[in-house]
Structure 1
Amino acid sequence: MSSIQVRPATLRDAKAIAEIHVAAWQDAYRGLLPDTTLDSLSVQKRQAFWREAIDLCEPQVMVAHLDNEIMGFVGFDRSRDKGTPSTTGEIWAMYANPVHWDKGVGLALWDAARDGLQEEGCTKVTLWTYLRNERALRFFELAGFKRELGSAKTTEVSGTRIEELRLQRSLV
Structure 2
Amino acid sequence: MTTARIRPAHAGDAAALHALHTATWREAYADLLPEHVFEARERDGLPAWEHRLTDMAGPSVWLAHRDGEPVGFAWAEAAGTGQVRALELAALYVRASEYGQGTAANLLQLATGDAPCMLWVAQDNPRALAFYRKHGFEADGAARRVDAWGNLAVVRMVR
Same fold (TM over 0.5): yes
- Return the TM-score normalized by structure 2: 0.86
> What percent identity do the matched residue pairs reach?
27
Change (3 A) 1:64 1:124: same
Q: Is residue 6–residue 62 contact of structure 1 (8 Å, CA) maintained in 2?
A: yes
Instruction: Report the equivalent of 1:166.
Output: 156
Cα deviations across residues 107-145 of structure 1 (Å, max 9, x unaligned)?
A: 110111123xx6xxxx41101111111121111111110
Amino acid at match of 1:138: A
Q: Is residue 4–residue 108 contact of structure 1 (8 Å, CA) maintained in 2?
A: no
Aligned length, in residue pairs = 158
Q: CA deviation at 1:44?
A: 5.4
What are the ranges of 5 or more consecutive residues in structure 2 without an aligned counterpart? Answer: none
Instruction: Report the equivalent of 1:24.
Output: 24
Q: CA deviation at 1:84?
A: 2.5
Q: Is residue 127–residue 167 contact of structure 1 (8 Å, CA) maintained in 2?
A: yes
Q: CA deviation at 1:162?
A: 2.5
What are the ranges of 5 or more consecutive residues in structure 1 without an aligned counterpart? Answer: none
- Structure 1 Cα separation of the partners of residues 119 and 66 of structure 2: 26
Q: What SS is found at the alignment partner of 1:3?
A: coil
| Aligned pair partner of 2:133 in 134, 141, 150 | 141
What value does the CA root-mean-square deviation take over the aligned residues?
2.1
Change (3 A) 1:139 1:52: same
Change (3 A) 1:95 1:70: same
Q: Structure 1 runs of 4+ off > 6 angstroms?
A: none
- Return the TM-score normalized by structure 1: 0.81
Q: Is residue 5–residue 108 contact of structure 1 (8 Å, CA) maintained in 2?
A: no
Q: Is residue 3–residue 101 contact of structure 2 (8 Å, CA) maintained in 1?
A: no
Q: What SS is found at the alignment partner of 1:148?
A: strand
